[in-house]
Structures are given as C-alpha cells and as structure tokens.
C-alpha cells in the first residue's frame, strides 16, 4: 500500500466513510433537530411505503371528502379536464392485470390521466397528503388521505366500492396499479456520465440534400401570442412583427379585475359569460340584481366557501384572496363584469 | 405580415414616423425629391426648425434634445433601479392556453432581447407548482435528516456564516421546447426556449452540510430535496450529484434570490432540469432508494414510442438556439448582421457551436464569447452578410464530451413525438425575402 493510499484511507475513515465522526463540525452553527421537529416535516412516503403512517379510509368516506374538497377542481368522478388534467380514465381491467396501459401501446390515448401514468400508489398518497387540497395544502388527516385515495382507486376500478384502504393492504393495491410495469430507468439521462441515446455528427459541408420544411407556424399560433412588435426592442438589428390584431388590442385596455380574477385563481372554475364548474359571473350578477345585501353575502360566500346555490359542485373557501381584491372582485362581478 | 418594406433600414435615416406606407414605397423606388420635401415638412411641423436646417442632416443631431439642454433627475430617486421605459416590451410572459391555473404555470424569459449569458433576475423564467410566496427569512429553516449521524436544523443566520461559493450556472425546465415535440406551435424564441435562465448563484455546497450532519456513506444512495411552499415540491437526487457541485443557495446575481426564484433558499443542481432545483428549500433527507414523488412519477416522465415512460430523466443535454434574429422578428435591412445565440450542456462545457444559413447543408463555426463555463450558458456570435434571399438559420452545439446536438429527425427516431420533456433538437428559423423570420422545423 502506498503512503498516499494509506493517507486517503485514514482520511476516509475520519470523515464519514463509516459515519463515525461527530456531527456539527462548524462551531456555533446549526443544532440537532428534535424528534418532534423531524416528525413534523418528514412526511414523505416511498414506494416501499417507508414513511407511511398507520390509518385507513373507505371508498364511501372518500367520496364525501372528495365532494367537499376535491370535486370543485377535479370533477365529481376525477374526470374533469377543466382546471387540471384528468386523474381518472383511460385504464382497463386488462391493464390492471398486466401492469401496462394498453392505450400507450396502441397509441390511441387522447390524453394521459394520472392513473394511466403513475406506477407507484405511494406517489398518490404522498402527494395528496402533502399538497392537497389546492388552496389548503396539508389540511387532510391521515385517514381522510386514505379515504380520498380509496375513492380515486375505486373510480379507476382498481379497488371495489366497499373497499377500506389501509397501511396493511396498500401493498396489495400496488400489485393492481395499471401502469406499474410501464416505467423504465434504463436510459442515460439520470447519470451525468450516462450514455446519450441520440447521436448526431458535426458534418460541415454539403451535408444533406433532402432538407424539407417539416412544419411551419400556423397563422393562428402566430397571432395567439399577442402583438410580437411589442415584445421586442424598438432599436437594434430587428423589430418584432405586427401580429394578433395589434391596433385593436392596444386601443382597448382590459379591466383590471380580469387580472385579479386570474391572480386569485377564480378563472379555474368561473367564466365571465359561461359556466365552467361554477356559474358564469354575469349569471351571478343577474340573480342578485335587486338584492341590496348581495355585496356582503357574496363576499362571505367566497371567503368561507359555499354550496347548493348553483348546482352540485361546492365552492371551497378562498382564504388566499386579500380583502382588497375580494372587495374589488365582488363589486366588479355585481356590476356585470365589464371587460374593459 | 409585417408592415415593413423590403429594405426598411434605408428609410430609418429620415425622422421617425412621418412617412406613410405609400411614401415609403416612393423612397424604395428612388424618388428622392419627395423625401427631401417630406423631411423638411416634418421638421418644420414636428420640431419647429427651418427647412434649410433640417436638410443639412439628421435632426437628432442638429436639434439638441431636451436631455442635452436641461437638468437631469437626482440620485436615489429610484432607490431600487428599474429598466428604461423604452424597454417595457422585454418582460416575462405566459403562453396563452398552455395552462389554466396561473399558480401552477410558467412564464418565459424574453431571450429575443437578452445579451451575454446572465439573465436579469427580474426576467428569470418562472415555474411554480402551487403559487409563490415571499417568505420571512428569519422564520425559514433548513432541516437535514435520514441516513445521517444527527438530524440537524439550520437558520439562515447559520447557513450564511458557512464557507460559501459563487458559481454561474444555467437552469432549464425539462419541458423547455416541449410544445414543439410534434409540430411548430409557438412564434418566438421566448416561447420555444424561454424556460431557460442563467445566474450567478451564491451558497454553501450541499456536501458541506451533509458532512456536517455525518452522512452515512455506506448506506446513502440518494437525497430528497423538499420545498416549504404548499406543494412541498420534492425531487430525488442521486448521491454522486448531491456531493458534486450542488449548492444550497441564497444569492442570485449579487443580491438575494427573488421570491419567485425561491427566496430565501433554493437548491442549485447544475446540469439537471429545473424541477430539481427545489425552491423555498426546507429539507434534505438522505436515503437509500428513490422516492418516486409526484414530479418524478406522474410529471417529468418521458413517453416513448413503445408505450413505456422513462423515469428520472434529469440531465439537460447539449442544446443551442439562435436568439438574434429569431422567430417573430423582421430584419431591418440586407447587409451585415451578427447572428447571436446561446449554447449550453448539462454534462459540461460547450466546445463548439456551428451555424448554418442554408437549412443545415453547410456550416461555419461561430465565435464562443468568454467566459465558457461548465453547465452555464455560453454566448456565440458569427458574422453574416444577408443578400436578401430566403434562408434557414440553425445552430448546432457540441459539448466537451463530444456529444453533438441532434436534429428533429434523429431525436424522433429514438424518442418519438409524444414526449413533453427533453427536446434539445436543432432549432430552425426561416428568413423570408421580406426580412420576416418565422419558426419552422427543417430536417
């Protein structure tokens, strides 16, 4: 053994190769985490279910939680494509048997749903528990999380309607996930030294003669991004092209409430004229036209959530909207939602 | 199409904005008498000087402007400086129809107007999974737990006392250019390539913190990075990456991170797609298996022609794009032009960039501007004289592993057209005789 190798070995032993050196080598910096602190933040659940807390929830209870907290964005059956891409759909009984989603192999999937993609059921438990509902993340209890997941799995016909999902049977459910055999890590894009799968050579002269324009920008796509002349500098070697009915758009200034509507996430569920999941704003204005108390009652319903006034889909509480935005939005909605 | 005439640069020498399209036509046809009259008339009416005077030259020179003849504004009038009012068009923008919820969306950096390699912090692209927050740094904590001798907690005070490094790196979303896998879909480089930025980041190497906690090198294989926002975004990072050049960063371009970029703390994972650069970083867990989190098991997975998905695709392979001239722009004139663009690789340094103006038949090697840094944007430039005939402009980068950026044809032969992620194909811009540049796929 050379002197250098010996030194390297000693250094490796001293600095963590065996995990034997004391933590906290920078004096006065950092401190040990308490067990309660680790428990509060270490909420991740792995595919081998490490980190999964004990608990259970039924499909039936899941449906109740779903209708109250999830359906407004995802639709009653997890099928909605209005706000987010659908969770449920596109998988078959055969997929559950084989663990491969046939729609991909046939190439006839119009859209990829969550259940068509996800290979590991732990992923869904972890994500629902850490990040849902959308505007109140981490508010679901452990049992409610099991219940909501049971409901989703039932919609996908992965578990029966009388199923109670728990930490004791979730490993069996994993064996029925429709795309459980559909993932691969055999590629060169994880390791920085991984082997690239696509190869080109740097030809310099007379490289090929069959060059074709395979695809060009359609006119509607060019105009869909506003006036490109206003997205470029006014000096220099180029100017932006005039697109998207530039003059008409510049003359009419959009109403500032449209920006508030977008910023506060209202447009996910409401159109101005049209019903999305909730009513169109002009329908609301029409209904409360003669109601003098409409401003305060509408504010309260947005703030605290509301159900039963406009159909089956409940509106969740919108605690994230500032008082100023809320006031401006309610006034604008009741005035008929002018667009400029 | 553009309102500009074939050789608009010629008429820009006259006072701006007083020629009608018909008069512009006269100029292009060489009817110069008209020009002199119009020039004089405009000078009299708009600028109030004599016709004889204006005919002597450019009123922008001959008539001293107000800024040369009056007192300017005081220091600290704008304690945090802002761009000129004339730069208002260059800002980050959303692509209409791409997403439906602005809190889980993307805004693109205006690459068509940027110079050099550093992205101004206010123009850095945004991608949020559940909205952004402006977090009080005094209340922010970083926890490290899992396969370590001691789980530890650090405040911002703690972290900012540690030995720090400052490094320039690019960040690119794995879905950058994702809208173009199947067909041309968007008009400008802001929307085709704008989920790309490059900054100087300052922070402490993650390896320092893992060492400080006594990482169990025998069992540790991966780390999980977790954000403090509502989505608590999580991504698995292999241990060899984590111990290499990953930084727990608070600084960006000389100041603290912007809230939209993770203030007060984010992970910088050089060469790896942006989703792993967890913002509002609150926790690192050391483990022995990958976690298959939502953003590595439902999203950021690459659908292949055989119906399988590649999982944990992370490296941003070598890629380049010409930013000037680029889609949606019009060249002012024929004659000399500097073709300029950006090249980058998640595997190291850029070795070479070649540029073609004939759709890939013939190539010339561009100049690489310094600095040329590993896993950072590299600016390239090449001289070009446009003779007014149609052209297809392309750039092709090579990194220091010898890998050459592929064509669309080569990429699709292996990966099909149904993926969203990791499209690093050669970009083509078609230049028409009118001077208009548009987005095409030539292969």
Tens-digit pLDDT profile for residues B335-369: 999 999 999 999 999 999 999 999 999 999 999 99
Q: Indicate the burial class of B424 (C-beta count within 10 angstroms; 0-12, 13-18, 19 or more).
A: buried
Q: Specify the pLDDT at position A260.
A: 83
Cβ of B442 within 8 Å of Cβ of A213? The answer is yes
Q: Specify the pLDDT at position B101.
A: 84
C-alpha A330/C-alpha A316 separation (Å) is 17
C-alpha B420/C-alpha B412 separation (Å) is 12
For the residues B152-157, what does the mean pLDDT come to?
A: 98
Q: Of A62-76, A246-260, A319-333, which range is least confident?
A: A246-260
SS3 A59: helix
Q: Specify the pLDDT at position A164.
A: 98
Q: Which residues of B touch A202 (CB under 8 A)?
A: 352, 354, 363, 396, 398, 404
Cβ of B226 within 8 Å of Cβ of A41? The answer is yes
C-alpha A289/C-alpha B183 separation (Å) is 48
Q: Looking at the partner chain, which of B307, B329, B443 has a beta carbon nearest the beta carbon of A232?
A: B329
Q: Looking at the partner chain, which of B217, B304, B331 has a beta carbon nearest the beta carbon of A19?
A: B217
Cβ of B362 within 8 Å of Cβ of A202? The answer is no
Q: Please, are residues B342 and B376 in contact by the beta-carbon 8 Å criterion?
A: no
Report chain A's mean pLDDT, rounded to a whole number: 87
Tokens for B336, please give them. Answer: 């000399």
The DSSP code sequence of B74-133 is: PTTSSSS----GGGTT---B--TTS-S-GGG-EEB--GGG--SSPPPGGGS-EE-SS---
Chain B nearest-CA residue for A245: B1
Cβ of B89 within 8 Å of Cβ of A198? The answer is no
State how far residue A191 is from chain B, nearest Cα, in angstroms.
7
Is the model's pLDDT at A100 over the cut of 70? Answer: yes
For the residues A214-233, what does the mean pLDDT come to?
A: 90
Domain A256-334 indexed as CATH 2.20.28.10: no
Cβ of B291 within 8 Å of Cβ of A18? The answer is no
For strands B319-324 and B152-155, give the pairing: unpaired
Fold of A56-174: Cytochrome Bc1 Complex; Chain D, domain 2 (1.10.760)
Q: Specify the pLDDT at position B153.
A: 98
Interface test with A, best of B212, B225, B292 (most A CBs within 10 A): B292
Q: Specify the pLDDT at position B54.
A: 55
Q: Which residues of B touch A224 (CB under 8 A)?
A: 96-97
Q: Of A83-92, A244-253, B21-30, which range is least confident?
A: B21-30
pLDDT tens digits for B368-391? Answer: 999 999 999 999 999 999 999 999
Is the model's pLDDT at A56 over the cut of 80? Answer: yes
Q: Where are the domains of chain B?
A: 8-68, 102-310, 319-440
Q: Which residues of A touch B303 (CB under 8 A)?
A: 104, 112
Q: Looking at the partner chain, which of B96, B162, B308 has a beta carbon nearest the beta carbon of A224?
A: B96
Q: Which residues of A touch B235 (CB under 8 A)?
A: none
Q: Specify the pLDDT at position A107.
A: 83
Between these two residues, B24 and A266, which has the higher pLDDT value? A266
pLDDT tens digits for A148-161? Answer: 999 999 999 999 99
pLDDT tens digits for B130-139? Answer: 999 999 999 9
Q: Please, are residues A145 and A125 in contact by the beta-carbon 8 Å criterion?
A: yes
Q: Please, are residues A150 and A134 in contact by the beta-carbon 8 Å criterion?
A: no
Q: Specify the pLDDT at position A14.
A: 45
Tokens for B160, please give them. Answer: 């900012």
Is the model's pLDDT at A1 over the cut of 50? Answer: no
Q: Which residues of B touch A189 (CB under 8 A)?
A: 302, 310, 312-315, 317, 422
Between these two residues, A99 and A312, which has the higher pLDDT value? A99
Look-up of token digits 């509002």: B280
State how far residue B426 is from chain A, nearest Cα, in angstroms.
11
Chain A nearest-CA residue for B440: A216
User: What part of A 285-324 touches B (C-beta under 8 Å)?
Assistant: 320
Cβ of A182 within 8 Å of Cβ of B309? The answer is yes
For the residues A284-311, what does the mean pLDDT come to?
A: 84
User: What part of A 206-225 touches B (C-beta under 8 Å)?
Assistant: 206-209, 211-218, 221-222, 224-225
For strands B126-127 and B106-107, give the pairing: antiparallel
Tell me the H-state helices in B137-255. Answer: 156-161, 189-193, 206-212, 239-242
SS3 B337: strand
| Confidence label for A263 from pLDDT (cuts 50, 70 and 90) | confident
| Confidence label for A305 from pLDDT (cuts 50, 70 and 90) | confident
Q: Which residues of A touch B302 (CB under 8 A)?
A: 189
Tokens for B95, please give them. Answer: 């692509």
Is the model's pLDDT at A316 over the cut of 90? Answer: no
pLDDT tens digits for B156-211? Answer: 999 999 999 999 999 999 999 999 999 999 999 999 999 999 999 999 999 999 99
For the residues A76-90, what does the mean pLDDT come to?
A: 92
Q: Which residues of B touch A198 (CB under 8 A)?
A: 406, 410-411, 413-415
Q: Looking at the partner chain, which of A43, A200, A239 has a beta carbon nearest the beta carbon of B407?
A: A200
* For chain A, percent of residues with pLDDT exceeding 90: 54
* For chain B, percent of residues with pLDDT exceeding 70: 88
C-alpha A274/C-alpha B83 separation (Å) is 40
Cβ of B317 within 8 Å of Cβ of A189? The answer is yes
Between these two residues, A37 and B97, which has the higher pLDDT value? A37
Any chain A CB within 8 A of the CB of B309?
yes
Q: Looking at the partner chain, which of B151, B308, B404 has a beta carbon nearest the beta carbon of A33?
A: B151
For the residues A260-273, what does the mean pLDDT come to?
A: 77
Cβ of A192 within 8 Å of Cβ of B347? The answer is yes
b/e code B270-288 from CB counts within 10 Å (16+ = b): bbbbbbbbbbbbbbbbbbb
> Taking each helix axis from N to C terminus, what angle separates A142-155 and A121-131, rounded to the nearest 10 degrees?
130
Q: Which CATH number fits domain B102-310: 3.40.640.10, 3.20.20.10, 3.90.420.10, 3.10.440.10?
A: 3.90.420.10
Q: Indicate the burial class of A321 (C-beta count within 10 angstroms; 0-12, 13-18, 19 or more).
A: buried
Q: Of A167-181, A254-268, B130-144, which range is least confident?
A: A254-268
Q: Specify the pLDDT at position B22.
A: 53
Q: Specify the pLDDT at position A279.
A: 82
Tokens for B150, please give them. Answer: 């001691």
Interface test with B, best of A156, A190, A220 (most B CBs within 10 A): A190
Cβ of B436 within 8 Å of Cβ of A241? The answer is yes
| Confidence label for A166 from pLDDT (cuts 50, 70 and 90) | very high
Q: Which residues of B touch A124 (CB under 8 A)?
A: 294
C-alpha B183/C-alpha A217 separation (Å) is 8
Is the model's pLDDT at A218 over the cut of 90? Answer: no
SS3 B435: coil
Any chain B CB within 8 A of the CB of A182?
yes
Q: Specify the pLDDT at position A105.
A: 87
Q: Which residues of B touch A182 (CB under 8 A)?
A: 307-309
Any chain A CB within 8 A of the CB of B403?
yes
Q: Which residues of A touch B285 (CB under 8 A)?
A: 42, 44
Q: Specify the pLDDT at position B340.
A: 98
Chain B nearest-CA residue for A223: B187
| Closest to A64 in 3D by CA, of A148, A131, A168 | A148
C-alpha A158/C-alpha A95 separation (Å) is 10
| Confidence label for A252 from pLDDT (cuts 50, 70 and 90) | low
Cβ of A225 within 8 Å of Cβ of B96? The answer is yes
Q: Specify the pLDDT at position B7.
A: 45
State how far residue A267 is from chain B, nearest Cα, in angstroms.
8
Any chain A CB within 8 A of the CB of B390?
no
Any chain B CB within 8 A of the CB of A268?
yes
Q: Looking at the partner chain, which of A44, A130, A189 has a beta carbon nearest the beta carbon of B314?
A: A189
**A–B interface: beta-carbon pairs under 8 A:** 357
Cβ of B152 within 8 Å of Cβ of A231? The answer is no
Q: Where are the domains of chain A?
A: 56-174, 219-232+239-251, 256-334
| CATH class as words, domain B319-440 | mainly beta
C-alpha B394/C-alpha B359 separation (Å) is 7
């Amino acid at each position: 053994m050379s002197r250098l190798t010996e030194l390297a070995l000693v250094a490796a032993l001293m600095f963590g190769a065996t995990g034997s050196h004391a933590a906290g080598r920078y004096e006065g910096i950092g401190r040990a985490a308490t067990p309660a602190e680790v428990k509060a933040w270490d909420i991740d659940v792995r595919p081998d279910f490490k980190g999964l807390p004990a608990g259970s929830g039924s499909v039936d209870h899941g449906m109740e939680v779903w209708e109250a907290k999830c359906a407004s964005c995802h639709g009653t059956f997890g099928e909605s494509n209005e706000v987010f891409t659908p969770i449920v759909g596109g998988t078959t009984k055969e997929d559950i048997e084989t663990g491969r989603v046939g729609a991909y192999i046939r190439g006839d999937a119009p859209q990829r749903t969550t259940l068509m993609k996800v290979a590991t059921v732990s992923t869904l438990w972890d994500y629902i528990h850490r990040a849902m509902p959308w505007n109140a993340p981490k508010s679901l209890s452990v049992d409610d999380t099991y219940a909501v997941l049971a409901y989703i799995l039932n919609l996908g016909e992965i578990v029966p309607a009388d199923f109670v999902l728990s930490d004791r049977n979730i490993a069996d459910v994993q064996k029925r996930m429709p795309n459980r055999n559909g993932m691969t890590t055999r590629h060169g894009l994880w390791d920085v030294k991984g082997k690239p799968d696509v190869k080109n050579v740097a030809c310099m002269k007379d490289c090929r003669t069959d060059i074709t324009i395979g695809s060009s920008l359609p006119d509607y796509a060019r105009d869909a991004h506003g006036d490109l002349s206003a997205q470029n500098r006014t000096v220099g070697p180029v100017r932006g092209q005039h697109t998207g009915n530039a003059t008409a758009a510049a003359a009419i200034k959009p109403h500032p409430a449209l920006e508030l509507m977008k910023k506060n996430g209202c447009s996910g569920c409401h159109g101005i004229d049209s019903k999305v999941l909730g009513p169109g704003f002009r329908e609301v204005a029409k209904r409360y036209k003669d109601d003098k108390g409409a401003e305060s009652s509408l504010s309260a319903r947005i703030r605290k959530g509301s159900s039963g006034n406009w159909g089956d889909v409940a509106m969740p509480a919108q605690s994230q909207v500032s008082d100023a935005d809320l006031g401006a939005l309610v006034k604008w909605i009741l005035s008929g939602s002018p667009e400029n | 199409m553009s309102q500009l005439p074939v050789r608009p640069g010629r008429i820009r020498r006259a006072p701006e904005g007083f020629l009608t399209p018909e008069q512009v036509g006269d100029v292009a046809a060489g009817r110069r008498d008209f020009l002199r009259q119009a020039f004089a008339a405009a000078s009299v009416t708009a600028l109030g000087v004599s016709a004889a005077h204006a005919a002597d030259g450019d009123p922008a020179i001959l008539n001293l402007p107000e800024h040369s003849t009056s007192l300017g504004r005081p220091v600290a009038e704008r304690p945090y400086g802002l761009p000129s009012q004339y730069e208002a068009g260059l800002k980050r923008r959303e692509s209409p129809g791409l997403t439906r919820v602005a809190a889980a969306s993307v805004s693109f950096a205006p690459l068509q107007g940027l110079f050099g390699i550093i992205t101004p912090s206010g123009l850095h692209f945004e991608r949020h999974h559940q909205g952004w927050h402006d977090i009080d740094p005094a209340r922010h904590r970083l926890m490290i737990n899992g396969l370590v001798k001691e789980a530890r907690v650090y405040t911002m005070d703690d972290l900012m006392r540690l030995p720090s490094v400052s490094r320039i790196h690019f960040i690119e979303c794995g879905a950058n250019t994702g809208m173009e896998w199947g067909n041309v879909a968007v008009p400008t480089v802001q929307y085709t390539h704008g989920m790309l930025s490059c900054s100087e980041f300052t922070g402490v190497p993650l390896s320092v913190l893992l060492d400080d906690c006594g990482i169990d090198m025998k069992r540790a294989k991966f780390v999980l990075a977790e954000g403090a926002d509502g989505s608590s975004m999580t991504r698995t990072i292999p241990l060899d990456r984590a111990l290499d050049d990953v930084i727990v960063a608070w600084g960006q371009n000389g100041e603290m991170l912007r809230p939209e970029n993770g203030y007060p703390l984010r992970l910088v994972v050089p060469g790896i797609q942006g989703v792993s650069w967890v913002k509002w970083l609150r926790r690192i867990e050391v483990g022995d298996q990958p976690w298959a989190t939502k953003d590595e098991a439902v999203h950021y997975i690459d659908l292949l022609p055989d119906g399988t998905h590649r999982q944990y695709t992370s490296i941003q392979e070598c890629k380049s794009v010409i930013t000037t001239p680029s889609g949606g722009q019009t060249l002012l004139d024929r004659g000399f032009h500097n073709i300029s663009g950006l090249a980058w690789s998640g595997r190291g340094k850029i070795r070479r960039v070649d540029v073609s103006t004939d759709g890939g038949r013939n190539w010339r090697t561009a100049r690489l501007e310094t600095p040329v840094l590993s896993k950072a944007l590299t600016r390239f430039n090449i001289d070009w004289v446009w003779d007014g005939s149609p052209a297809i402009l392309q750039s092709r980068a090579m990194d220091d592993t010898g890998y050459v950026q592929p064509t669309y044809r080569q990429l699709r032969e292996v990966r099909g057209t149904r993926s969203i992620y990791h499209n690093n194909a050669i970009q083509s811009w078609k230049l028409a005789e009118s001077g208009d540049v548009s987005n095409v796929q030539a292969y």
